[in-house]
């Protein structure tokens, strides 16, 4: 069992991934997310950006199934997701980081639409709007942007995601990463 606030955050992530809402994250969900993204930003799958995005989703899927698909049926149920993330987040930090990095790297590459290796305020606003948090985007960015250079680096996003996935403090600013929970 994980704390109620962590369960709410993991449920939120699960709902973003399980985009056909059948109660499982499966390969088809991941491929749908990839296709939607490529279409929305008119990225050619054969371009450098398209290949990078494709590789991101592949490693994302590998990290997800290798760590969370306990009954090995090729999909991750909500229950597997909730208990698995809880065990990871509260367990060995090195193992958690190994799973966390590809997940965050995927989100980062997707948000960084111009490929500048940083997420600008404009890019972050678009992402936050997509999770229903558009009006909070600048405030959330300011909290993630620890070095204050106005953009989010991969390391800054990983730090924030780690806190998001482990903090049980209801007033923690990192709770806002994916919008209201
Ligand atoms: Ca699904
Ligand atoms: Ca960028
Ligand atoms: Ca920064």
What whole-number percentage of the chain has pLDDT above 70?
A: 99
Residue 131 has pLDDT above 80, yes or no: no
Average pLDDT over residues 60-67: 85
Cα 120 to ligand 1 centroid, rounded to whole Å:
31
- Residues lining ion ligand 1 (Cβ < 5 A) are 18, 20, 22, 24, 29
> Domain limits of the chain?
4-169
Residue 22 has pLDDT above 90, yes or no: yes
pLDDT of residue 106: 82
Q: What does the pLDDT look like over 68-120, one tens digit per residue?
A: 888 889 999 999 999 888 888 888 888 888 878 878 888 898 889 888 999 99
Residue 181 has pLDDT above 80, yes or no: no
Cα 62 to ligand 1 centroid, rounded to whole Å:
16
DSSP E strand stretches across the chain: 24-26, 75-77
Q: What is the torsional sign of CA 115, 127, 57, 160?
A: positive
Cα 167 to ligand 1 centroid, rounded to whole Å:
27
* Longest CA–CA separation in the chain, Å: 44
- Kindly list the distances between the CA atom of residue 149 and the CA atoms of 50, 120, 144, 167, in Å, as whole numbers in the listed order: 28, 10, 11, 25
Cα 163 to ligand 3 centroid, rounded to whole Å:
16
The ligand that comes nearest to the alpha carbon of residue 18 is: 1
Look at the domain 4-169 and name its fold: Recoverin; domain 1 (1.10.238)
Spatial CA neighbour of 60 closest among 8, 25, 21: 25
Q: What does the pLDDT look like over 137-163, one tens digit per residue?
A: 899 999 999 999 999 999 999 999 999
pLDDT of residue 87: 86
Are 166 and 89 in contact, with CB atoms under 8 Å apart?
Answer: yes
The ligand that comes nearest to the alpha carbon of residue 151 is: 3
Phi then psi dihedrals of residue 119, to 5 deg: -100, 115
Cα 108 to ligand 2 centroid, rounded to whole Å:
9
pLDDT of residue 155: 95
Residue 129 has pLDDT above 90, yes or no: no
Are 65 and 76 in contact, with CB atoms under 8 Å apart?
Answer: yes
Chain-wide mean pLDDT for the chain?
87
Residue 180 has pLDDT above 80, yes or no: no
DSSP secondary structure code for residue 6 in this structure: H
Q: 3-state secondary structure string, 84-118?
A: HHHHHHHCCHHHHHHHHHHHHHHHHHHHCCCCCCC
pLDDT of residue 178: 80
Residue 1: pLDDT band with limits 50, 70, 90: low
Torsion of CA 39, 43, 45, 48, to 10 degrees: -160
- What distance lies between CA 107 and its chain's CA centroid? 5
């Amino acid at each position: 069992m994980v704390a109620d606030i962590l369960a709410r955050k993991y449920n939120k992530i699960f709902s973003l991934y399980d985009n056909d809402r059948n109660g499982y994250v499966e390969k088809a969900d991941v491929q749908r997310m990839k296709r939607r993204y490529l279409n929305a930003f008119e990225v050619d799958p054969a371009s450098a950006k398209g290949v990078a995005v494709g590789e991101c989703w592949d490693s994302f899927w590998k990290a997800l199934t290798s760590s969370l698909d306990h009954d090995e049926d090729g999909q991750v149920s909500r229950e597997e997701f909730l208990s698995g993330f809880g065990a990871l987040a509260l367990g060995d930090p090195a193992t958690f980081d190994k799973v966390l990095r590809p997940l965050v790297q995927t989100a980062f590459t997707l948000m960084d639409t111009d490929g500048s290796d940083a997420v600008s305020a404009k890019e972050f606003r678009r992402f936050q709007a997509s999770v229903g948090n558009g009006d909070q985007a600048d405030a959330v960015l300011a909290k993630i942007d620890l070095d204050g250079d106005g953009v989010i680096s991969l390391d800054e996003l990983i730090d924030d995601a780690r806190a998001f996935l482990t903090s049980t403090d209801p007033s923690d600013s990192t709770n806002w990463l994916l919008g209201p929970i």
